[in-house]
Chain A
């Protein structure tokens, strides 16, 4: 099958040549296949978010190649890449414009793919937005003229999720997008995520610190450490993997004190 995303030997060092020099990506290579739903785990500072930033073009990488759907996007500016990449952050405030209405926010996200109309908010698109919002089951379809800043974090994140998938991206990147929400809301947003990904079959990469969820969701799991991918499992190997084994593997491969780690902490919930 054709790879949606190909990463070839990606290197990125921050503050090169200073005392703060930090090698954040240390030769990352990865093929994301069509329909892949990859969960990504790794300790704090492993380089997970940096990997997403590199894919999205937040900064130029030092070395390597990024190929999206057969097209080399290594030197493309961030907003041009965004045409085919949907992205969600941990902070629910990042994905939406607070002083604009739900409808206007969605219209903006939908701009790149919809037929061009004079007014951003129009009847045809609004009907579609309404339909999408109704699927969230949060009652937002009746509040389309509400400013997004008035919604709760969970509601904002749910709308952001719709916005980042509304124009059929080839790749969806989720960076701990439920970590800032209360447990009940997080569960709901995660359920919506799985639902959307299954429905649209968008290739998805999801960073999470919940190891259990990482093994349960999706079809493939990657572990990162010190800017490298140290584990990449799928199929039977993944099906047979337990949380305990993964943790053991993790400690063996990275030789780190597990007790200090957030991963262990989050599995004790």
Chain B
């Protein structure tokens, strides 16, 4: 049981990186970014190949950079080419499927068994398997959240936030809103790909299909986090997302443990959580109407 909770928290912290990426595009830029499914798998692909060649740490850096490039492409398609944001994301995601297969040399699966990972490196220093896993993911997740929190207070950072809030105002402040969008997407997908890169080293395998549905899992984490923390500034938002991702994995792990649902039901659950959360304003207004009518009737 303890092991189960540990595992869920570790996975939650890794997925928190992806959820932060979703938070950046969905909440800060205010544009849903469908690149995510592709860039998650991209992170895996880059990470697995670099780790196999013997550089597990560099693998994470490369994964993040590759993700940033994917984000830039989506941003470019939206801003310069003028493609609808949803479609731009789908196009990049679709193209990434081939790119990922290319990176993995045509194989849909790649195993990392027998190769060094960032986790095994720490184990070699004398830490237990569980401790090294926890330390690595905790340090990375908290560090990334902290760096992002600081970044969104810098000049360029607030320009990105303002772009999602009022693009017109950003332009009239003589700031290139196309650039802020592109950088925002790059940052978001760097987080997502880093998450993918870590998952692959954690599971010691990469799979080109692993990313599918990640967008919804990320959004579910964002929404759970916000439900717990309520809305606040960006810093609070980022830590809310981190918590939300961990909670989400805990809930899922427990649900699986007590056999509340089969493993293949997971995506259905995440989709339901997001749907219900997005439907909440509508549901509230309908309930409000009913109550009002009842009162007036009396």
Q: Give residues in A with beta carbon < 8 Å to B.
A: 56, 78-80, 82-83, 86-87, 93-100, 104-105, 107-109, 111-112, 116-121, 163-164
In the complex, which of the residues B154, B161, B166, B176 contacts A79, with contact meaning CB atoms closer than 8 Å? B176
Measured in the bound complex, the distance between the Cα atoms of B218 and A162 in whole Å is: 39
Q: Is the CB of A120 within 8 A of B173?
A: no
* Chain B window 175-192, contacts with chain A (Cβ cutoff 8 Å), 1 for yes, 0 for no: 111000000000000000
DSSP majority for the A interface?
Answer: loop
Q: Is the CB of B155 within 8 A of A79?
A: no
Residue of A nearest to B172 (CB): A82
Give the residues in chain A near B159, CB-CB below 8 Å.
Answer: 108, 111
Q: Is the CB of B174 within 8 A of A80?
A: yes
Give the residues in chain B near A118, CB-CB below 8 Å.
Answer: 154-155
A-B contact count (CB 8 A): 78
In the complex, which of the residues B162, B172, B176 contacts A87, with contact meaning CB atoms closer than 8 Å? B172
B289 within 8 A of A: no
Give the residues in chain A near B172, CB-CB below 8 Å.
Answer: 56, 79, 82, 86-87, 95, 164
Q: Is the CB of A79 within 8 A of B171?
A: yes
B153 within 8 A of A: yes
Q: Least Cβ distance of A178 to chain B in Å?
A: 18
Residue of A nearest to B28 (CB): A99
Measured in the bound complex, the distance between the Cα atoms of B172 and A96 in whole Å is: 10
Residue of B nearest to A110 (CB): B173
Give the residues in chain A near B154, CB-CB below 8 Å.
Answer: 118-120
Known contacts A97-B166, A99-B165; A109/B158 CB under 8 A: no
Measured in the bound complex, the distance between the Cα atoms of B165 and A99 in whole Å is: 7
Measured in the bound complex, the distance between the Cα atoms of B161 and A112 in whole Å is: 17
B145 within 8 A of A: no
Q: Is the CB of A116 within 8 A of B155?
A: yes
Q: Least Cβ distance of B158 to chain A in Å?
A: 4
B63 within 8 A of A: no
Measured in the bound complex, the distance between the Cα atoms of B175 and A83 in whole Å is: 9
B170 within 8 A of A: yes
Give the residues in chain A near B177, CB-CB below 8 Å.
Answer: 79
Residue of A nearest to B158 (CB): A120
Known contacts A118-B154, A119-B153; A109/B165 CB under 8 A: no
In the complex, which of the residues A83, A95, A96, A111 contacts B155, with contact meaning CB atoms closer than 8 Å? A111
Most buried by B among A80, A98, A100: A100
DSSP majority for the B interface?
Answer: helix
Measured in the bound complex, the distance between the Cα atoms of B209 and A46 in whole Å is: 58
Q: Least Cβ distance of B127 to chain A in Å?
A: 36
Q: Is the CB of B165 within 8 A of A78?
A: no
B169 within 8 A of A: yes
Q: Give residues in B with beta carbon < 8 Å to A.
A: 153-155, 157-159, 161-162, 165-166, 168-177
In the complex, which of the residues A79, A86, A117 contacts B175, with contact meaning CB atoms closer than 8 Å? A79
Give 12 A-B contacts (CB < 8 Å), ordered by A residue: A79-B170, A82-B171, A82-B173, A97-B162, A99-B161, A105-B162, A108-B162, A108-B173, A109-B173, A111-B155, A116-B155, A120-B154
Measured in the bound complex, the distance between the Cα atoms of B159 and A117 in whole Å is: 14
Q: Is the CB of B173 within 8 A of A94?
A: no
In the complex, which of the residues A56, A95, A112, A116 contacts B169, with contact meaning CB atoms closer than 8 Å? A95
Q: Least Cβ distance of A116 to chain B in Å?
A: 7
Q: Least Cβ distance of A107 to chain B in Å?
A: 6
Most buried by A among B155, B157, B173: B173
Q: Least Cβ distance of B229 to chain A in Å?
A: 16
Q: Least Cβ distance of A269 to chain B in Å?
A: 31
Give the residues in chain A near B166, CB-CB below 8 Å.
Answer: 93-94, 96-98
Most buried by B among A96, A107, A108, A112: A108
In the complex, which of the residues B155, B161, B171 contacts A78, with contact meaning CB atoms closer than 8 Å? B171
In the complex, which of the residues A80, A98, A107, A116 contacts B165, with contact meaning CB atoms closer than 8 Å? A98
Measured in the bound complex, the distance between the Cα atoms of B157 and A97 in whole Å is: 14
Measured in the bound complex, the distance between the Cα atoms of B170 and A119 in whole Å is: 17
For the complex of A and B, the 8 pairs showing the least CB-CB separation, nearest first, are: A97-B165, A82-B174, A83-B174, A97-B166, A97-B162, A120-B158, A112-B174, A79-B171
Q: Least Cβ distance of B25 to chain A in Å?
A: 16
Q: Least Cβ distance of B67 to chain A in Å?
A: 25
Q: Least Cβ distance of B178 to chain A in Å?
A: 9
Residue of A nearest to B171 (CB): A79
Q: Is the CB of B174 within 8 A of A121?
A: no
Give the residues in chain A near B165, CB-CB below 8 Å.
Answer: 97-100
Measured in the bound complex, the distance between the Cα atoms of B177 and A78 in whole Å is: 10
Q: Least Cβ distance of B95 to chain A in Å?
A: 29
Give the residues in chain B near A80, CB-CB below 8 Å.
Answer: 174
Q: Least Cβ distance of B55 to chain A in Å?
A: 32
Q: Least Cβ distance of A254 to chain B in Å?
A: 32
Give the residues in chain A near B175, CB-CB below 8 Å.
Answer: 79, 108, 111-112
Known contacts A116-B155, A117-B155, A120-B153; A97/B174 CB under 8 A: no
